[in-house]
């Protein structure tokens, strides 16, 4: 279906990771089960990261074991290193994501190492993933702007995207972490990536802190990108990007795409129900 756009739901991971008060495992499970009724093909369910760094997602294994897994949905998780990948395997995760950045300072704050070291940490993950037939996605944070270094050179993003695909990622998701990327800047970033890659290897991951996200989706579509990350209720933010708000809201992206004649196969009534739950989780720290 050439008109089909894939919306990758991020809220249980990118949405919840930044919430200060611990949301109970039971509520996370209920939320993910509800998200499973919306028509998403993929839900980023949790992260196998250090519980000291991101305490909110320290229950990843319990969450994976507790959810009702729909056959047609891939339940994915972040894995920053081999230990994380081993834990993800134990949880029978359908797909993992490795993550690095186009800014050295952000990468250090986020994963305690420089960009090259993070790429080296991914090698054993890719090897084990191949053996276990687990697809690996790659993220690049700070594609346009870094909270610590400000300007980010689009060339750097292109180089890292190329490296991630060469290593074995099936797709690279371009993260506008701070939400400051204008569509002109995003356009430059995508053009750099397309020197090495075809658009089917790219996805857009736009935080909506400054309401740039929908314009960034539009410009990405012009380049032929067909996968976008979003969160119901616009839930989220990154713990190492101070002040950054959530991913662009799933409902907004869906409305935009439908108005442009694309298909997404999402159930808007169910998404609205999930928006309410997302709001409850954010405001009251609980499902109800």
Binding of residue 220 to ligand HMG (CB under 6 A): no
Total residues interacting with Mg ion, rule: CB under 5 A? 1
Q: How far is the CB of 124 from ligand HMG (least distance, A)?
A: 12
Q: What angle do CA 41, 181, 202 make, to 5 degrees?
A: 35
Please choose which of Mg ion, ligand HMG, none residue 111 contacts, taking the beta carbon within 5 to 8 angstroms, the exact cut-off set by kind: ligand HMG
Q: What are the structure tokens assigned to 2, written together? A: 């050439």
Part in contact with ligand HMG (CB under 6 A); list of ranges 24-32, 34-42, 48-56, 159-167? 48-56
Q: How far is the CB of 69 from ligand HMG (least distance, A)?
A: 22
Interface residue with Mg ion among 14, 95, 171, 176 (CB under 5 A) is: 14
Binding of residue 59 to Mg ion (CB under 5 A): no
Contact 97/44 with Cβ under 8 angstroms?
A: yes
Closest residue by Cα to residue 18 from 231, 213, 203, 254: 231
Q: What are the structure tokens assigned to 197, written together? A: 């890659």
Closest residue by Cα to residue 17 from 97, 94, 72, 82: 97
Question: Which residue is at the shortest CB distance from ligand HMG?
Answer: 175
Binding of residue 48 to ligand HMG (CB under 6 A): yes
Please choose which of Mg ion, ligand HMG, none residue 105 contacts, taking the beta carbon within 5 to 8 angstroms, the exact cut-off set by kind: none
Binding of residue 9 to Mg ion (CB under 5 A): no
d(CA 250, CA 55): 25
Closest residue by Cα to residue 143 from 112, 169, 164, 124: 164
Q: How many CB atoms lie within 10 A of CB 200?
A: 12
Please choose which of Mg ion, ligand HMG, none residue 83 contacts, taking the beta carbon within 5 to 8 angstroms, the exact cut-off set by kind: ligand HMG
Part in contact with Mg ion (CB under 5 A); list of ranges 9-17, 46-54, 109-117, 126-134? 9-17
Part in contact with ligand HMG (CB under 6 A); list of ranges 44-52, 62-70, 186-194, 214-222? 44-52
* 238 given a catalytic annotation: yes
Please choose which of Mg ion, ligand HMG, none residue 138 contacts, taking the beta carbon within 5 to 8 angstroms, the exact cut-off set by kind: none
Interface residue with ligand HMG among 31, 75, 122, 139 (CB under 6 A) is: 139
Q: Which residues contact 222 (CB under 8 A, 6 or more apart)?
A: none
Residues from 63 through 122 that contact ligand HMG (CB under 6 A): 78, 80-81, 83-84, 87, 99, 110-112
Q: What are the structure tokens assigned to 190, written together? A: 């995508």
Please choose which of ligand HMG, Mg ion, none residue 54 contacts, taking the beta carbon within 5 to 8 angstroms, the exact cut-off set by kind: ligand HMG
d(CA 70, CA 21): 29
Q: Which of 142, 146, 169, 238 is flagged as catalytic?
A: 238
* Element containing residue 47 per DSSP (H, E): strand 42-47
For residue 27, the Cα-to-chain-centroid distance in whole angstroms is 21
Binding of residue 208 to Mg ion (CB under 5 A): no
Closest residue by Cα to residue 63 from 21, 25, 9: 25
**For the chain, how far is it from start to end, CA to CA, in angstroms?**
38
As annotated, the active-site residues are: 238
Residues that bind ligand HMG (CB under 6 A): 14, 17, 47-50, 53-54, 78, 80-81, 83-84, 87, 99, 110-112, 139, 141, 175, 177, 205, 207, 238-239
């Amino acid at each position: 279906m050439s008109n089909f756009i894939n919306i990758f739901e991020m809220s249980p991971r990118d949405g919840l990771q930044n919430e200060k008060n611990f949301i109970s495992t039971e509520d996370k499970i209920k939320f993910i089960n509800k998200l499973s009724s919306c028509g998403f093909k993929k839900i980023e369910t949790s992260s196998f990261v250090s519980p000291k760094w991101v305490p909110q997602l320290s229950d990843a294994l319990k969450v994976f074991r507790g959810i009702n897994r729909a056959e047609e949905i891939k339940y994915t998780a972040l894995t920053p290193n081999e230990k994380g990948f081993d834990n993800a395997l134990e949880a029978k995760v359908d797909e993992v994501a490795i993550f690095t950045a186009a800014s050295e300072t952000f990468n250090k704050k986020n994963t305690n190492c420089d960009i090259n070291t993070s790429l080296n940490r991914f090698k054993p993950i890719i090897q084990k993933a191949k053996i276990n037939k687990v697809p690996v996605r790659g993220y690049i944070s700070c594609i346009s702007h870094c909270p610590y270094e400000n300007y980010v050179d689009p060339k750097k993003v292109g180089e890292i995207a190329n490296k991630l695909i060469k290593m074995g990622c099936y797709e690279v998701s371009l993260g506008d972490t701070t939400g400051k990327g204008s569509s002109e800047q995003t356009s430059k970033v995508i053009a750099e990536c397309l020197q090495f890659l075809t658009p089917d290897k790219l996805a857009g991951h736009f935080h909506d802190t400054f309401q740039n996200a929908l314009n960034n989706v539009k410009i990405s579509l012009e380049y032929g990108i067909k996968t976008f990350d979003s969160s119901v209720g616009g839930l989220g933010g990154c713990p190492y990007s101070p002040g950054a708000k959530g991913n662009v809201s799933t409902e907004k992206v869906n409305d935009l795409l439908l108005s442009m004649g694309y298909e997404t196969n999402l159930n808007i009534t169910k998404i609205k129900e999930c928006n309410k739950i997302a709001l409850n989780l954010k405001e009251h720290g609980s499902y109800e």
